[in-house]
Structures are given as structure tokens and as C-alpha cells.
């Protein structure tokens, strides 16, 4: 009987130990699952992180070029989102009382009324790996061997390697220190509506918004987008802001802080462009003014030096003359980018500013996709039209890329239909012009002074460089949940 009693006590003790072990394991596992949820939320709020590995030496999360493009503060300081060290990478989960519900609630949504004294558990990031080719090298800190942040924003079909993020998180039961570890795959897809949602009629990258001289800006369509203000706290880094009283819009207009860099300047093809006969490109001057002269080039890559004194029109590109398409209907062998490129200057080694004076116009046919590249300043003086040959349509395919500043000096009406993109320059507006902008202006800084700008950005989504913007991909539901042995 004594022996049977001893056996019974031993079995009972083992069962209790198993139950306690399971309870401890389930607590730490729950903390790890909460950690997965929190880090997926982090990726959704800061999607640029989704395509960079945590510890990549060139493109890691704490790299300034990456962390400056996030809404949350990303650091490897103790308790920071990018901290994955054993000692200080843990983030506490505190059980709280909530008067709106019966019982207790996890402090996960910031609605606590009273906090129980000690956190019940914690979680920490072990690793995040961006995998865009299934080529992970365990000997290289588990990074993708060919990782370079490349992620095609055009469509999911353009990412055939099914890119994903591999997220590993640990959870800890604070009562006994037991740890559980979970790894999941987070599929990454293309957010094709990203820039449509942003709708940047005017996009300014100046980090000190108090230093921006807006002048008078009225939005009939589109938003004013600013790079986040320098030094603002984490909770307002991407929050809406209240512009000065001179900036107004419709009920649909938003005034947005966004942490991303401006898209890069367009990449010019190597001249000569694919051979398209000169007679299939329609370049006309009207009024006999000869305002734009010295036009030369081969195919769709054309160099020109604009005149600075005479009046006239320069008509850029037409599909009607040659009906040239990517399918090579014209029999020219052309299979490249279906665009006309114009470089201001004698050649790539001899660029010049583009100056458009009072009475001059730059016109497109409204169908051809036209890019003007100005390796210098864009100067607009007086009453100028940059638009479409048809009054019924905007020049939604016209882009003017400027490496320098955009200087608008006028007391008259300036009509701009298209995109002016000067990511390193300032838009300087002097005099008292009325600028009718059907399209967008994106620049580093804005000095509007007495300018009156009316913005309608409804056609901006046709621009060639929108797929090249800083990525904000979609992250889908985690898959491949795997409980691992915690190290």
C-alpha cells in the first residue's frame, strides 16, 4: 500500500509538472504570437521595411536612408523596434484593467484604465529577412545573398520569385523566464494604388515645413504632401498637418506628411535612341518666330537649344505622323520605351538651362508620351503655356525633369499641364503670377512668395516614374507558422 501510494504521488507530481510546463509554454507562445502581430503591424505602417533585412550591412533597418522613410522611429536602442539583442531587445506586454469590459485586457491598444503592477510577458525580434529569390545564406547572418531592395512596383507578375519576409520573434513568460520562438513567412505584393491614394498635386521634400513659403495655393483636386517635419515625435511623423491659411482645398483635399523620398529623375536611354526615321517625328514652329532652334537628334532622343528672344511654339512628339508602337507596326525595329526624349543642350556633355520666355509655348499633341530632361534650371518668364495642342485635354503624358531649380517670374498667367519634377531644386515664384497647374510639381523646396497656384492633379497617375517611387508594398497574412527551439 505504501508503494502504491508513493507511485500515485509520483504520477500526480509528474502530471502537475506537465500541466505547469504546458501553461508556461502557452504563456510564452502567446507572447511570441503577439510579437508577430506587432511586427506585422510595424511592417504595414512602415512598408519600406518590408523589402530590407533587419541586419543587412548596406540596407538594414537602421540605415539612415531607410529609417528616415518610416513613420515609426526605428532604432536599435534598448526597447527599439530594430533591437534584437538578448539583453535589451524585449518589449513588455502588460495586463491591464479596462472599465469597458469585464475582467482583464491586454495592453495592446492603449486603452488601459489601470495597470497591474508587473508585465506578464514580453516579446523581442530575433530577425527579419527580405527574401526575393529563395537564396538565403545561413553563413551570412541569414541574409538574402542577392538582396538589394529591388522590388518591382508594376505588378505582382513582375515579381516572379514570390518575394516574402521571414519574420522570427520570441515570447517570454516573465514569471519563470520560459521562452518560445515562432517563425513566419509574410508574402509581399504590389500596392498599385499607393500613389493614387497619396495623390500629390504638390509634393515638397523640405524637412522643415516652417521654413516653406507657400504663397497662395488652391487645390481643386489633389493633395499637398510634405516630407515630415524635422524633429517631430513618432506619433506625428506621418500625421496630417494644418497648412497656413493661404493653402486651401476641397473637402477631399488632404494635407499629408509622408516620410518617403521623392521619386528619382527619369533614366535617359543611351543615344541614339531606337532608330525612328526623322520624318516620322513632328517638330513644328509656328508664327514664323523660330523661337526654338538648333534641333538635332536621331529617332526619339532629340537635343535642342531653345531660343531666348523670339516667340514661337515648339510641338514635341506626335504619334499620328508615324503611328509607332511597341509592336513595331511602323517596321522600324523599335521595341523600347514608347516615349519621346528631349535633352536640353547640344549633347549630353553640353547641357543648358531651359528658358521659356513671354509668349512662348511648349506643346504636345496630348497622345505622345514626352519627357524633357533639363540638366540645369527651368526658367519660365512672363505669360507662358506648357500644355496640350487640344484645349479639351491635359498633357497628362508630359514630364519635365529638372536637375536644378524651377524659376517662375511673371505677373501674368502661366499654364502648366503635366509634371515638373525637380527633386533637388527649389520652386521659386516671383512677381504675382497665376499658375494654372493641371498635373503636379514635385520639388525639394518651395518659395511661393506672392504666387497664386491653382492645382488640379487628376491626371498625374500617368507619369513614367510613379513605379520608381520609394516602395510601399502590401504585406499579406503570415503563412508557414513554425514553432522553433529558442536559442
The pLDDT tens digits of the residues spanning 321-348 come to 333 333 333 333 333 456 677 777 766 7
Between these two residues, 414 and 5, which has the higher pLDDT value?
414
In this prediction, residue 338 carries a pLDDT of 60
pLDDT of the residue at 340: 72
Q: How sure is the predictor about 310, in pLDDT bands with cuts at 50, 70 and 90?
A: very low
Name, in order, each residue with C-beta under 8 angstroms of 338's C-beta and a sequence gap of 6 or more. Answer: 324, 325, 326, 369
- Of the listed ranges 81-95, 384-398, 444-458, the least confidently predicted one is 384-398
pLDDT value at residue 249: 95
Between CA 38 and CA 100 the distance in angstroms is 23
Cα distance between residue 40 and residue 484, in whole Å: 19
429 CA to centre of own chain = 27
pLDDT in tens, 137-186: 655 555 565 665 567 777 888 788 888 999 999 999 988 889 999 999 99
Q: How far is it, in rounded angstroms, from Cα 215 to Cα 449?
A: 5
The beta strand positions in 54-190, using DSSP E, are 91-93, 95-97, 104-106, 114-115, 121-131, 136-137, 143-144, 164-173, 179-189
Please check the confidence at residue 309 and state whether its pLDDT lies above 50: no
Grid cell locating 220: 481643386
Q: How does pLDDT run across 228-270, given as a tens digit for each residue?
A: 876 666 667 788 888 999 999 999 999 999 888 888 898 876 6
Output 317 or 268, whichever has higher pLDDT: 268
Structure confidence at residue 331 (pLDDT): 32
Give yes or no for a contact between 375 and 351, defined as CB atoms under 8 angstroms apart. Answer: yes
The rounded distance, in Å, linking the Cα atoms of 210 and 198 is: 22
Cα–Cα distance measured from residue 212 to residue 409, given in angstroms and rounded to the nearest whole number: 18
| Of the ranges 104-113, 220-229, 377-386, 405-414, the best mean pLDDT one | 405-414
* pLDDT band of 207, cuts 50, 70, 90: confident
Rounded distance between C-alpha atoms, residue 475 and residue 468, angstroms: 19
Q: What is each CA distance from 52 to 60, 89, 411, in whole angstroms?
A: 6, 19, 48
Q: Greater confidence, 47 or 470?
A: 47
User: Which pLDDT belongs to residue 13?
Assistant: 39
The pLDDT confidence band at residue 360, using thresholds 50, 70 and 90, is: confident
**The pLDDT value given to residue 135:** 67
Peptide bond into 272 cis (omega under 30): yes
Asked if the model's pLDDT at residue 426 lies above 90, the reply is: yes
Q: Is the dihedral of CA 12, 15, 21, 27 positive or negative?
A: negative
pLDDT at 456: 93
Per the CB < 8 A criterion, the answer to whether 170 and 180 are in contact is yes
Average of pLDDT values for 433-457?
94
CA distance 48 to 149: 9
**83-119 per-position pLDDT tens digit:** 998 788 999 887 665 555 444 445 544 444 555 556 7
User: 333 and 381 in contact (C-beta within 8 Å)?
Assistant: no
**What's the chain's average pLDDT?**
75
The answer, yes or no, to whether residue 436 has pLDDT greater than 90, is yes
What mean pLDDT do residues 8-22 have? 40
C-alpha cell at 64: 539612415
Question: What secondary structure letter does DSSP report for 282?
Answer: -
Mean pLDDT of 354-359: 84
Kindly give, in sequence order, each residue whose CB lies less than 8 Å from that of residue 111, ignoring residues fewer than 6 positions away: 98, 100, 105
pLDDT score, position 294:
39
Give the β-pairing of 179-189 and 164-173. antiparallel
357: pLDDT strictly greater than 90? no
The pTM for the full model equals: 0.76
Contact 368, 397 (CB under 8 A): yes
Amino acid at each position: 500500500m505504501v508503494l502504491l501510494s508513493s507511485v500515485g504521488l509520483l504520477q500526480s507530481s509528474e502530471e502537475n509538472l506537465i500541466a505547469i510546463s504546458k501553461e508556461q509554454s502557452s504563456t510564452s507562445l502567446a507572447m511570441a504570437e503577439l510579437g508577430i502581430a506587432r511586427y506585422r503591424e510595424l511592417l504595414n505602417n512602415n512598408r519600406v521595411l518590408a523589402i530590407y533585412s533587419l541586419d543587412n550591412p548596406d540596407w538594414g533597418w537602421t540605415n539612415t536612408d531607410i529609417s528616415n522613410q518610416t513613420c515609426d522611429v526605428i532604432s536599435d536602442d534598448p526597447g527599439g523596434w530594430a533591437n534584437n539583442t538578448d539583453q535589451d531587445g524585449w518589449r513588455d506586454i502588460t495586463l491591464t484593467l479596462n472599465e469597458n469590459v469585464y475582467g482583464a485586457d491586454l495592453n495592446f491598444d492603449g486603452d488601459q484604465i489601470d495597470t497591474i503592477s508587473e508585465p506578464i510577458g514580453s516579446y523581442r525580434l530575433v530577425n527579419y529577412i527580405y527574401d526575393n529569390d529563395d537564396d538565403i545564406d545561413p553563413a551570412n547572418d541569414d541574409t538574402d545573398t542577392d538582396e538589394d531592395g529591388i522590388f518591382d512596383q508594376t505588378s505582382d507578375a513582375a515579381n516572379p520569385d514570390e518575394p516574402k519576409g521571414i519574420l522570427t520573434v520570441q515570447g517570454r513568460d516573465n514569471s519563470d523566464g520560459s521562452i518560445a520562438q515562432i517563425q513566419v513567412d509574410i508574402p509581399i505584393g504590389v500596392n498599385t494604388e499607393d500613389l493614387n491614394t497619396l495623390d500629390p498635386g504638390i509634393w515638397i521634400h523640405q524637412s522643415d515645413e516652417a521654413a516653406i513659403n507657400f504663397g497662395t495655393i488652391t487645390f481643386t483636386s489633389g493633395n499637398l504632401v510634405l516630407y515630415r517635419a524635422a524633429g517631430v515625435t513618432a506619433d506625428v511623423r506621418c500625421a496630417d498637418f494644418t497648412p497656413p491659411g493661404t493653402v486651401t482645398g476641397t473637402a477631399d483635399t488632404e494635407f499629408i506628411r509622408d516620410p518617403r523620398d521623392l521619386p528619382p529623375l527619369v533614366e535617359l536611354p543611351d543615344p541614339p535612341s531606337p532608330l525612328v526615321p526623322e520624318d516620322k517625328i513632328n517638330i513644328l514652329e509656328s508664327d514664323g518666330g523660330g523661337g526654338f532652334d538648333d534641333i538635332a537628334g536621331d529617332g526619339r532622343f532629340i537635343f535642342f537649344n531653345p531660343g531666348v528672344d523670339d516667340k514661337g511654339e515648339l510641338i514635341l512628339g506626335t504619334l499620328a505622323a508615324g503611328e509607332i508602337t511597341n509592336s513595331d507596326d511602323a517596321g522600324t525595329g523599335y521595341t523600347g520605351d514608347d516615349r519621346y526624349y528631349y535633352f536640353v543642350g547640344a549633347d549630353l556633355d553640353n547641357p543648358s538651362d531651359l528658358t521659356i520666355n513671354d509668349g512662348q509655348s511648349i506643346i504636345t499633341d496630348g497622345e505622345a508620351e514626352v519627357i524633357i530632361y533639363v540638366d540645369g534650371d527651368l526658367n519660365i518668364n512672363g505669360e507662358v503655356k506648357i500644355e496640350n495642342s487640344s484645349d479639351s485635354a491635359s498633357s497628362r503624358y508630359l514630364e519635365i525633369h529638372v536637375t536644378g531649380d524651377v524659376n517662375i517670374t511673371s505677373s501674368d498667367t502661366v499654364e502648366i499641364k503635366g509634371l515638373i519634377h525637380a527633386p533637388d531644386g527649389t520652386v521659386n515664384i516671383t512677381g504675382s503670377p497665376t499658375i494654372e497647374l493641371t498635373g503636379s510639381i514635385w520639388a525639394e523646396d518651395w518659395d511661393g512668395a506672392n504666387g497664386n497656384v491653382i492645382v488640379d492633379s487628376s491626371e498625374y497617375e500617368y507619369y513614367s516614374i510613379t513605379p520608381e517611387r520609394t516602395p510601399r508594398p502590401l504585406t499579406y497574412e503570415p503563412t508557414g507558422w513554425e514553432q522553433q527551439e529558442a536559442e
